[in-house]
């Protein structure tokens, strides 16, 4: 009887144990720009880029809505990958809606056009509302419970491989030579995030030459579970030698209806060894049905660009994760490996 009572008690305890808390990603629709909100189990937050300015505060409102859904009222860290309008332009608007404690970037804007100077001035004013942190390759973004390593910033990359990475990359020999890119894209801040056994990579808008520098002749990054397609899925980025070396289980394409999701890049990603699925923020009009994923896995399928639906990932420390399309509530879980 004593053994039976103990068994029953253990069953009761098991039923009341809280579910393990997840690391949540919100890939917010900013119409071909970037705004990715990452919320830790302890409710710390990292917003990567803030979309476009203007549009009646459209992007800032969408970010604010995602923050409300995540149960947060401020942003702990706002990381700006680089100084282009679709990434940094929305910073002043979001700062007016949500307090931002820390601003992260790669240092000063390297572009000097009139528009670039105006972007920098607006961003610099916003930064005055919080703490400013300039990141170099190898630095850590200090969110509790995560290991987030900056792997590229201001045109430089990490000097040594991440833990468990560093193997020779056989894809490098056949990789084409890409021209030097002197724009802010090539200076993007990129990072690899570890949450237990779950791994995620975001390389901003790095272009092909800089991407290959991270994986050739040796793969300094290793493999990942989720790959946010670089540069919105444009073919100026996403060369085979990096995408296939990363071997993502899932790719998230943060494209717009008429920006990104280029068929050539889409095919490289889709053919990546080990890829289980690709999900898209938008149906890419130029791709047609042949180079877009099935509609259930596309957050925004109409051409008017007004739905503003997001993709969400909830990841567990054991490496398992679930992707959910907020448009239709379709979700798929990827088991731990």
Which pLDDT tens digit goes with each residue over 293-335? 999 999 999 876 567 999 999 999 999 999 999 999 999 999 9
Task: Report yes or no on 324 lying in a domain.
Answer: yes
Domain count, the chain: 1
Contact 44, 78 (CB under 8 A): no
Rounded mean pLDDT, 258-275: 97
> How is the beta sheet containing 331-334 ordered, strand by strand?
131-134, 100-105, 75-79, 45-48, 36-39, 23-27, 311-315, 321-325, 331-334
Q: With a cut of 60, say whether residue 8 has pLDDT above it.
A: no
Q: What does the pLDDT look like over 13-36, one tens digit per residue?
A: 445 555 669 999 999 999 999 999
Q: Is residue 15 part of a domain?
A: no
Give me the domain span that covers residue 133. Answer: 20-330
Confidence of residue 7 (pLDDT cuts 50, 70, 90): very low
Q: What is the CATH number of the domain that holds 253?
A: 3.60.15.10
Q: Is residue 220 part of a domain?
A: yes
Q: Is residue 10 part of a domain?
A: no
- What would the pLDDT profile of 137-165 be if each residue is shown by its tens digit? 999 999 999 999 999 999 999 999 999 99
Predicted confidence at residue 327, as pLDDT, reads 96
Domain assignment of residue 122, yes or no: yes
Q: Per the domain annotation, does 45 fall within a domain?
A: yes
Whether the pLDDT of residue 232 is over 70: the answer is: yes
């Amino acid at each position: 009887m004593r053994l039976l009572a103990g068994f029953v008690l253990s069953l009761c305890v098991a039923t009341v144990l809280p579910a393990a808390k997840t690391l949540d990603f919100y890939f917010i629709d900013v119409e071909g720009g970037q705004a990715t909100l990452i919320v830790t189990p302890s409710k710390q937050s990292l917003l990567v880029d803030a979309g476009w300015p203007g549009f009646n505060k459209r992007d800032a409102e969408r970010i604010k809505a995602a923050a409300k859904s995540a149960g947060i009222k401020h942003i702990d860290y706002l990381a700006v990958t680089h100084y282009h309008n679709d990434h940094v332009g929305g910073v002043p608007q979001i700062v007016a809606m949500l307090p931002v404690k820390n601003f992260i970037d790669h240092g000063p804007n390297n572009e000097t056009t009139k528009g670039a100077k105006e972007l920098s001035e607006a961003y610099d004013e916003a930064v005055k509302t919080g703490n400013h942190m300039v990141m170099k390759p190898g630095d850590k973004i200090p969110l509790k419970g995560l290991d987030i390593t900056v792997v590229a910033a201001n045109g430089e990359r990490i000097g040594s491989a991440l833990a468990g990475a560093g193997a020779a990359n056989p894809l490098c020999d056949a990789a084409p030579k890409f021209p030097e890119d002197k724009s802010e894209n090539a200076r993007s801040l990129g990072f690899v995030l570890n949450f237990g056994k779950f791994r995620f990579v975001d390389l901003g808008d790095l272009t092909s030459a800089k991407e290959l520098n991270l994986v050739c002749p040796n793969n300094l990054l290793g493999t990942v579970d989720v790959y946010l397609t670089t540069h919105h899925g444009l073919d100026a980025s996403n060369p085979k030698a990096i995408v296939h070396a990363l071997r993502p289980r899932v790719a998230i394409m943060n494209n717009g209806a008429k920006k990104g999701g280029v068929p050539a890049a889409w095919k490289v990603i889709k053919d990546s060894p080990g890829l289980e699925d690709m999900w898209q923020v938008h149906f890419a009009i130029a791709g047609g049905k042949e180079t877009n994923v099935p509609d259930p896995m596309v957050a925004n399928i109409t051409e008017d660009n007004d739905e503003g639906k997001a993709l969400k990932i909830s990841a567990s420390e054991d490496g398992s994760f679930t992707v959910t399309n907020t448009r239709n509530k379709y979700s798929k879980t990827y088991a731990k490996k």
